[in-house]
Amino acid sequence: MSGCDRSFLPGDGGPTPRTVLVVEDDASTLETLSLFLQDEGYRVLQATSGVAALSLMRQVRPALILSDAIMPGMDGFALCELVRAEPRWSQIPFIFLSGISQRTDVRHGMGLGADDYLAKPVEPEELLSAIRVRLARADEAQVALTNATSDLRDAIIRTLSHEFRTPLSLVLGYTDLIESTIRETADQELHQFLQGLRSGVEHLMGLLEGFLLLSQLQTGALAAERRREPPQSSLADLIVSQVLEGFDQRALQQNIRLSLLQGAPGSFVATDGWTLAEIVGRLVDNAFKFSKPGGGCVVVATRLSASFWVFEVADEGIGITEQELTWIFEAFRQVDRAKMEQQGTGLGLAIVRGLAELSGGSVAVDSEPGRGSTFSVRLPLAAQEEPVNDVGAGSLGERAYGHTVSRKRIERVHQTGERNRRDESWRRDDSTDCTCG
């Protein structure tokens, strides 16, 4: 038998089994323990030495370790010491099951950080009881740690919300006052300084609002708030049009041709206008951020699919690799950070996923490195009797993105009924013209 290549799996059905790593150099004892634990519903991993156990743990993190004390090479005592010294394993329950049970041996094992020390031969119920108790205590400790971490995060967020938002609002207010006072002056350099000041403050305000929103999503605070409110709906394509107005000036600056294909006019989605605007705005913002330096096309499209309204944003940006796709919707994760210094904090897509799921929908991405990405959001259509919620373009643009301008750079193609999926050949064409349809 190899040192760490065996595992026993209980039958299908029921909850996911907990994994127990059994470390035992005696083949007969190892097999007996493994079969017994498997019958009790545990997933069992086997190792015949401390070295083999460490090698296996680098691949699979067990819920509990059951180890002999005396083994050739690295014994159980050395294994326990190394496990406790490794931060990622330090909280795994560790139980000794050994033929040596002198008081000094027990004290030595417990002193190294073991959670229990059982003597061979052990009664089956005693072994099961020890395992259940240690797993239960580990679960309780994890819940307590999670709650403490959540409480600390909430306290930090509340502090940041007050201590940062208040002075930033004051700076922004005084900037407005100064701008209105010197509006007629010809000092262009002073105007530029004030514009830079405003841009920096608005950026910090956006970061703060993003942190607060993500915290509300992750802690469930926003979900609890929604449960206390009556269901709302919003006119989806109208919200999209309003949000895109805020990207007009930015499209000019980045030489991006922004196109809108509306395939679901008059459709209502089962979420409020603010939530939908956040989803749309953050996805379009993401497309702009990851467009290539020379500009290109960003296509926004809507359509109906069964009982869902579908919103899509396609860009001609840097694209996303297969490995990056596995974590692209996680918070604080960013694509190619070293080369894309304008990205921000990596909160946008995590917020989009959280808001989409909170609204009963989902988000997905299809991407090709070097060619661009298409993000799509599916939201359930609303019942007609739900109250309609709208978002004004001006207030949204000023609050979230700092842009409130005209529609002159936005192409719109209105279509009725179900729209066939667009031909995306424009993304593979070297031409700078966007042919959408």
Measured distance CA(255)–CA(405) in Å, rounded: 16
Measured distance CA(242)–CA(393) in Å, rounded: 5
What interhelical angle do 273-289 and 236-245 show, nearest 10?
A: 50
Last residue of a domain, one of 224, 246, 262: 224
pLDDT at 160: 65
Query: What tokens does 239 get?
Result: 């919200």
Q: Are 298 and 291 in contact (CB under 8 A)?
A: yes
- Per-residue pLDDT reduced to its tens digit, 384-425: 645 555 554 333 333 333 332 222 333 333 333 333 333 333
Quick check: is 190 in a domain?
yes
- The side-by-side arrangement of strands in the sheet containing 6-8 is 6-8, 43-47, 19-23, 64-67, 94-98, 116-119
**Is the CA virtual torsion 140, 145, 146, 148 positive or negative?**
positive
Q: Compare 419 and 99 and report the one with higher pLDDT.
A: 99
- Per-residue pLDDT reduced to its tens digit, 236-254: 999 999 999 889 888 888 8
Are residues 246 and 182 part of one domain? no
pLDDT at 308: 94
pLDDT at 416: 33
Range with the poorest average pLDDT among 38-47, 60-69, 197-206, 418-427: 418-427
Q: How many CA atoms lie within 13 A of 385 on its CB side?
A: 1
Query: What tokens does 423 get?
Result: 């031909």
Measured distance CA(82)–CA(420) in Å, rounded: 60
Measured distance CA(305)–CA(380) in Å, rounded: 10
Are residues 186 and 251 part of one domain? no
What is the pLDDT averaged over residues 315-338?
78
Are residues 116 and 100 part of one domain? yes
Share of the chain above pLDDT 90, in %: 39
- Per-residue pLDDT reduced to its tens digit, 293-312: 888 889 999 999 989 999 99
Last residue of a domain, one of 122, 138, 168: 122
pLDDT at 298: 92
Q: Are 219 and 153 in contact (CB under 8 A)?
A: yes
pLDDT-based confidence at residue 101 (cuts at 50, 70, 90): confident
Q: Compare 257 and 396 and report the one with higher pLDDT.
A: 257
* Residues 194-221: b if buried by 16+ CB within 10 A, e if exposed: beebbeebbebbbebbbbbbbbbbeeee
Last residue of a domain, one of 200, 224, 248: 224
For residue 269, give the H/E element and its range.
Answer: strand 268-269
Measured distance CA(113)–CA(77) in Å, rounded: 10
Measured distance CA(13)–CA(387) in Å, rounded: 43
pLDDT at 394: 37
Range with the poorest average pLDDT among 83-87, 218-222, 267-271: 218-222
pLDDT-based confidence at residue 186 (cuts at 50, 70, 90): low
Query: Is the pLDDT score of 77 beyond 60?
Result: yes
Of these ranges, 10-14, 166-170, 252-256, the one predicted with the greatest mean pLDDT is 252-256
- Per-residue pLDDT reduced to its tens digit, 23-35: 999 999 999 999 9
Surface-to-core class of residue 437, CB atoms within 10 Å of its CB (0-12 exposed, 13-18 middle, 19+ buried): middle
Are residues 295 and 152 part of one domain? no
Q: Compare 138 and 393 and report the one with higher pLDDT.
A: 138
Are residues 187 and 94 part of one domain? no
**Minimal CA–CA distance to 50: which of 30, 77, 32?**
77
Please give the residue range of the domain that contains residue 72. Answer: 6-122
pLDDT at 392: 45
Q: What is the mean pLDDT of the chain?
A: 78
Query: What tokens does 348 get?
Result: 């946008």
Q: Which residue has the tokens 């942190």?
A: 211
Cα–Cα separations (whole angstroms), residue 135 to 11, 37, 53, 130: 21, 14, 19, 9
Quick check: is 436 in a domain?
no
CA torsion angle for 201, 204, 210, 213 (degrees, to 10)? -70
Range with the poorest average pLDDT among 95-104, 216-225, 367-376: 216-225
Q: Tell me which amino acid residue 129 is.
A: S
Are residues 414 and 318 part of one domain? yes
pLDDT at 399: 36
Are residues 85 and 193 part of one domain? no
Residue 154, strand partner residues: none
pLDDT at 228: 84
**CA gyration radius for the chain?**
29
pLDDT-based confidence at residue 6 (cuts at 50, 70, 90): very low
Q: How many domains does the chain have?
A: 3
Measured distance CA(56)–CA(95) in Å, rounded: 17
Are residues 296 and 214 part of one domain? no
What is the pLDDT averaged over residues 358-381?
91
pLDDT-based confidence at residue 345 (cuts at 50, 70, 90): low
E-strand ranges in 316-348 read: none
pLDDT at 213: 81
